[in-house]
């Protein structure tokens, strides 16, 4: 799968994180990002990869929003009690979950359930994914070169 994503260039940089984020990492997108970051512009890989990962992960917002529609009224009221915390810490929580390589669906479904502002959620997620992917690309790109230089 990684070789196929590599053959797609920037489209692979977008699709890998999109599919991988939406499918709980069945697609090893970090490997594709690292491989493509070696041959493509690392800034564009970071931007395009972050966009794909955000779109893939944000689909879980819709899952949460859909769950809200089918929940019984009593449960919707209980979910509403957490809205105060989501309004206060939602963007920060989304950013930090997006910043880690762990699945951030754990945050997106409740955020969708509580109908948190999707614009704030998308910006926070994109910024977190941008930092995560940029660190992966630059660490692998310059780390590998330094290690090879050390051995030669």
Q: How far is it, in rounded angstroms, from Cα 132 to Cα 45?
A: 12
pLDDT at 7 (0 to 100): 76
Q: How far is it, in rounded angstroms, from Cα 101 to Cα 80?
A: 29
Q: What's the whole-number average pLDDT of the chain?
A: 84
Instruction: Find tokens 């809200």 and name the residue.
Output: 68
Q: How far is it, in rounded angstroms, from Cα 152 to Cα 141?
A: 17
pTM of structure: 0.83
Q: Is the pLDDT of residue 150 over 70?
A: no
145, 146, 150, 151 alpha-carbon torsion, rounded to 10°:
-30
- Cα end-to-end span (Å), the chain: 32
Q: Is 25 within 8 Å of 103 (Cβ atoms)?
A: yes
Mean per-residue pLDDT, 117-124: 94
Q: What is the pLDDT of residues 61-115, one digit of tens each?
A: 998 888 878 888 777 777 777 777 788 888 998 999 999 877 787 888 888 888 8
Q: What is the pLDDT of residues 1-49, one digit of tens each?
A: 556 667 788 888 898 888 888 776 666 788 888 888 888 999 999 999 9
């Amino acid at each position: 799968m990684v070789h196929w994503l590599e053959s797609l260039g920037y489209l692979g940089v977008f699709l890998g994180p999109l599919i991988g984020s939406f499918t709980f990492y069945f697609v090893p997108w970090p490997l594709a990002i690292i491989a493509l970051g070696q041959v493509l512009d690392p800034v564009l890989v970071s931007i395009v990869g972050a966009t794909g990962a955000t779109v893939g992960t944000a689909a879980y917002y819709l899952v949460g929003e859909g769950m809200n529609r089918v929940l019984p009224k009593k449960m919707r009221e209980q979910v509403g009690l957490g809205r105060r915390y989501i309004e206060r810490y939602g963007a920060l929580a989304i950013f930090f979950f997006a910043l880690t390589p762990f699945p951030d669906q754990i945050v997106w479904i409740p955020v969708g359930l509580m109908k948190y502002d999707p614009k704030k959620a998308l910006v926070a997620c994109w910024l977190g994914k941008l930092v995560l992917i940029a660190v992966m690309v630059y660490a692998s790109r310059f780390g590998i070169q330094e290690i090879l230089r050390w051995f030669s």
